[in-house]
C-alpha cells in the first residue's frame, strides 16, 4: 500500500532550495547546488576510496569497546561541546511539514511526538517553538545522560509540553513514559547511523510498536558515499559502511535499500524515500564537496488496511 505522498511530484522535495547546476562552468558561482547527479567517474572514485578504507578493520577488541562504552563516548562529546553544539533545525519543517501541527481551535486531539537521539535539543526546541498554541507534546530521549541534562537545563525547556529521558533504544530493556500505539510521529534524524547495524532492525521493530495506526517515522540520515564517509582514513572502518570517528562515536552510511528493508520488515509502509544529493563548494579553495542524505517517511498501516 502506498499513499499519494509517494507520487512522483512528492517523491523528491528540495532540501534547502531549488538551485540547480545546469552549466558546469558556473559551479563556483554559488556555495551549494541541489540534486546534483553523480557521473561514472565520481562513482568509481567513491567505490575505490571505500574499498581502500575497508581493507583494514578496527580490531575486535576495540570494536567491543566502542559498542559497550558507546554512551560514555557520547557523554564525553556533549561534555566538550555542550550548548556550543546547538544549531536549531528550522529546516526540519521544510523537509517534514508534518511537524507543523494545525493549531486551529477545532483541532483538539493531542499530537504525541517522540524524538530519538535528541542530543541537546536541536529538533525539540524548534518543534515546541513552532507549535505554540497547538496541542503538541514532545517526548525526547538520548542514551547520553549529559545530553538529556542539557535539554532539561535549557531555558526553552517546558516540562508541561516536553518530557526528556535517558534511553538506549538499541538495548533489550526500555523504560519509556508512553504506551504502545500512542505516538503520532517518531523522529529519527541522524541517530540510527550511530547504532550498530546488527541492532538496527530490532530498534525499528520496537519503535514501530509505539506508533498509532497512521502514525509515521520521519527519517533522515547519512547516505553511502557522502563526503563524510569518503574522508575517513584507513583503520577507522568497523564493517561495511560503518566507521568510528576519532572521538569514539560511530556512524553508518545508508543506501535507500537499507532504509526500505529496515522499515518494511517492521511492518511499515513507505510514503516517501529518496536520496538528497547536494554539491557544496569552497569558492576560495576551488573545492567540491558532495553530500548525500537519505530521507524517508514510513507509516504504520491503519487497522482496516
Q: Containing H/E element for 166? A: strand 162-166
Distance CA 145, CA 137 (A): 21
173 pLDDT tier (thresholds 50, 70, 90): confident
Cα Rg of the chain, angstroms = 20
Query: Of 267, 268, 269, 262, nearest to 294 (Cα)?
Result: 262
The angle that helices 70-81 and 60-68 make with each other, rounded to 10 degrees, is 60
Note the pLDDT tens digit of each residue in 97-138. 999 987 666 667 899 999 999 999 989 999 999 998 889 999
- Residue range 83-96: mean pLDDT, rounded: 71
Query: Of 67, 98, 81, 75, nearest to 187 (Cα)?
Result: 98
Distance CA 57, CA 67 (A): 15
For residue 233, pLDDT beyond 80: yes
Higher pLDDT, 42 or 197: 197
14 pLDDT tier (thresholds 50, 70, 90): very low
| DSSP letter string, 178-244 | S-TT-EEEEEEES-GGGS-HHHHHHHHHHHHHHEEEEEEEEEEEEBTT-HHHHTPPTT-EEETTEEE
For residue 60, pLDDT beyond 70: yes
For residue 295, pLDDT beyond 80: yes
Answer whether 215's CB lies under 8 Å from 299's CB: yes
Residue given cell 563556483 in the structure block:
28
Which of the residue ranges 40-49, 170-179, 184-193 would you say has the lowest mean pLDDT? 40-49
Amino acid at each position: 500500500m502506498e499513499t499519494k505522498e509517494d507520487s512522483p511530484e512528492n517523491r523528491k522535495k528540495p532540501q534547502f532550495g531549488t538551485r540547480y547546476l545546469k552549466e558546469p562552468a558556473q559551479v563556483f558561482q554559488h556555495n551549494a547546488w541541489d540534486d546534483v547527479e553523480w557521473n561514472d567517474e565520481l562513482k568509481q572514485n567513491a567505490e575505490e576510496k571505500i574499498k581502500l578504507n575497508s581493507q583494514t578493520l578496527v580490531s575486535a577488541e576495540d570494536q567491543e569497546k566502542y559498542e559497550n562504552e558507546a554512551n560514555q563516548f557520547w557523554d564525553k562529546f556533549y561534555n566538550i561541546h555542550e550548548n556550543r553544539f546547538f544549531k536549531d533545525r528550522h529546516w526540519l519543517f521544510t523537509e517534514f511539514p508534518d511537524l507543523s501541527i494545525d493549531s486551529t481551535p477545532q483541532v483538539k486531539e493531542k499530537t504525541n511526538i517522540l524524538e530519538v537521539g535528541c542530543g541537546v535539543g536541536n529538533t525539540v526546541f524548534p518543534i515546541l517553538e513552532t507549535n505554540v498554541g497547538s496541542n503538541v507534546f514532545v517526548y525526547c530521549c538520548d542514551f547520553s545522560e549529559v545530553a538529556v541534562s542539557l535539554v532539561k537545563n535549557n531555558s526553552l525547556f517546558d516540562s508541561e509540553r516536553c518530557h526528556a529521558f535517558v534511553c538506549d533504544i538499541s538495548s533489550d530493556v526500555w523504560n519509556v513514559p508512553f504506551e504502545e500505539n500512542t505516538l503520532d510521529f517518531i523522529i529519527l534524524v541522524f541517530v540510527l547511523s550511530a547504532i550498530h547495524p546488527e541492532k538496527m532492525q530490532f530498534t525499528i521493530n520496537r519503535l514501530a510498536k509505539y506508533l498509532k495506526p497512521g502514525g509515521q517515522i520521519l527519517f533522515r540520515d547519512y547516505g553511502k558515499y557522502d563526503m563524510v564517509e569518503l574522508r575517513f582514513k584507513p583503520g577507522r572502518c568497523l564493517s561495511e559502511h560503518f566507521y568510528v570517528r576519532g572521538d569514539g562515536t560511530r556512524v553508518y552510511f545508508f543506501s535507500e535499500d537499507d532504509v526500505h528493508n529496515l522499515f518494511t520488515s517492521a511492518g511499515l509502509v513507505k510514503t516517501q524515500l529518496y536520496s538528497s544529493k547536494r554539491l557544496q563548494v569552497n569558492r576560495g579553495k576551488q573545492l567540491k564537496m558532495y553530500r548525500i542524505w537519505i530521507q524517508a517517511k514510513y507509516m504504520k498501516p491503519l487497522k482496516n488496511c
